[in-house]
């Protein structure tokens, strides 16, 4: 686990679409499951957000998400970019902008969370929620690996 903008590798920072990064973390899992970054992202979050994600993303963070499954979204997040070994999901609310970057290569999958506080409320809302996020993120990776392993 890597937490903090100063600790974020430049290779992860370079994949962000944000104007600035106020919060960053990176969780990784060694795995022998081979899948594309998009397959990993869909295994982590699905095509539409589950009720818990709706509560956190739409309710607490007020992130605007697509409500219908689409090849252009993952769990309502817009696919904002992709490349060799990575995919970037993008979403925003009226007070913060977010990127989720999923990387998959060389026997490792990682989830990078990047936030920019567009308004002061972001500094108030995200810090307590980030503690919950950091407890949940490792399980998201592990469950995705289990899902993918059982579909291969």
Structure tokens at 38: 């998009």
CB proximity list for 10: less than 8 A, separation 6 or greater:
none
What is the band of 53 on the pLDDT scale with cuts at 50, 70, 90?
confident
Mean pLDDT value across residues 28-46? 93
The percentage of residues in the chain with a pLDDT greater than 90, rounded to a whole number, is: 69
Tokens 């002061």 correspond to: 120
Residue with tokens 């679409």: 17
The answer to whether the pTM exceeds 0.75 is yes
- The pLDDT tens digits for 95-120 are 999 999 999 998 999 999 999 999 99
All domains of the chain, ordered by start, with CATH?
Answer: 2-151 (3.30.530)
């Amino acid at each position: 686990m890597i937490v903090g903008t100063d600790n974020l590798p430049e290779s992860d920072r370079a994949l962000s679409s944000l104007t600035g990064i106020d919060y960053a973390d990176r969780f990784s899992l060694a795995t022998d499951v081979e899948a594309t970054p998009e397959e990993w992202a869909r295994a982590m979050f699905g095509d539409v957000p589950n009720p818990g994600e709706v509560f956190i993303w739409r309710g607490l963070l007020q992130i605007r998400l697509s409500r219908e499954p689409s090849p252009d979204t993952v769990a309502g997040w817009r696919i904002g970019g992709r490349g060799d070994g990575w995919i970037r999901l993008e979403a925003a609310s009226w007070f913060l902008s977010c990127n989720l970057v999923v990387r998959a290569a060389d026997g490792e999958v990682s989830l990078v969370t990047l936030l920019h506080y567009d308004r002061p409320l972001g500094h108030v809302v995200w810090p307590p929620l980030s503690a919950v996020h950091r407890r949940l993120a490792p399980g998201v990776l592990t469950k995705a690996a289990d899902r993918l392993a059982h579909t291969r």
